[in-house]
Amino acid sequence: MMSRYFVDRISRRLVLCFGTVAFLILIFIAVFILKGSLPALEEVGIVDILFGTKWYPSHEAFGILAMFAGSVIVTLLALVMAVPLSVGCAIFLAEVAPRRISNIARPAIELLVGIPSVVYGLVGMVVLCPFIAHLSGTGSGSSVMAAAIVLAIMILPTITSISEDSLRAVPTLYKEGALALGATHWQAIHHVLLPASRQGIVTAVILGTGRAIGETMAMVMVIGNSPILPANIFAPARTLTGNIAVEIAAATGIHESALFVTGLVLFILIMIINSLGFIICRRKND
Partner 1 sequence: MIKFSPRLTQKLAWGFTWAMGSVAVLIMLLIVGYVLVQGLPVINLDFLFSSPEGGLAGEGGIFSCIVATLWLIVTTMAILVPLGLGAAIYLSEYAPDNKLTHFIRYSVELLAGIPSIVFGMFGFAVFVLALHFNYSILAGALTLACLLLPFLVRSAEEAMKAVPSSQREAAMALGATRWQTVTRVVIPAALPGITTGIILCVGGAVAESACLYVTMGGSAGMPTSLLSGGRTLAVHVFYLAMETNALDKAMATGAVLIVIIIAINLITRWVSRYLQTRMKGGTSYGV
Residues 55-94 that bind partner 1 (CB under 8 A): 84-86, 88-89, 91-93
3 state DSSP class of 224: strand
Run of H or E including 56: strand 55-56
Nearer to partner 1, 232 or 252 (CB): 252
Query: What is the Cα–Cα distance from 251 to 241, expressed in whole angstroms?
Result: 15
17 is a site residue for partner 1 (CB under 8 A):
yes
Residues with Cβ within 8 Å of residue 105, at least 6 apart in sequence: 92, 93, 97
Binding to partner 1, residues 119-148 (CB under 8 A): 119-123, 125-127
Residues 199 to 258: which contact partner 1 by CB under 8 A? 207, 210, 213-217, 220-221, 241, 244-245, 248-249
Q: Which is nearer to partner 1, 44 or 240 (CB)?
A: 240
**Residue nearer to partner 1 on the CB measure, 16 or 173:** 16
Per rule CB under 8 A, is residue 156 in the interface with partner 1?
A: yes
Q: Which of residues 256-275 bind partner 1 (CB under 8 A)?
A: 259-260, 263, 266-267, 270-271, 273-274
Q: How far apart are CA 171 and CA 281, in angstroms?
A: 18
Instruction: Report d(CA 174, CA 148) in Å as an integer.
Output: 37
What ranges make up the beta strands (E) of 166-259?
A: none
Give 66 or 188: the residue with its C-beta nearer to partner 1. Answer: 188
**Does residue 189 interact with partner 1 by CB under 8 A?**
yes
Given the complex with partner 1, which of 72 and 183 has the nearer CB atom?
Answer: 183
What's the CA gap between 61 and 261, in Å, rounded?
13
Rounded to the nearest whole angstrom, what is the least distance from the CB of residue 189 to partner 1 in the complex? 8
Count of alpha carbons within 13 angstroms of residue 191, beta-carbon side: 12
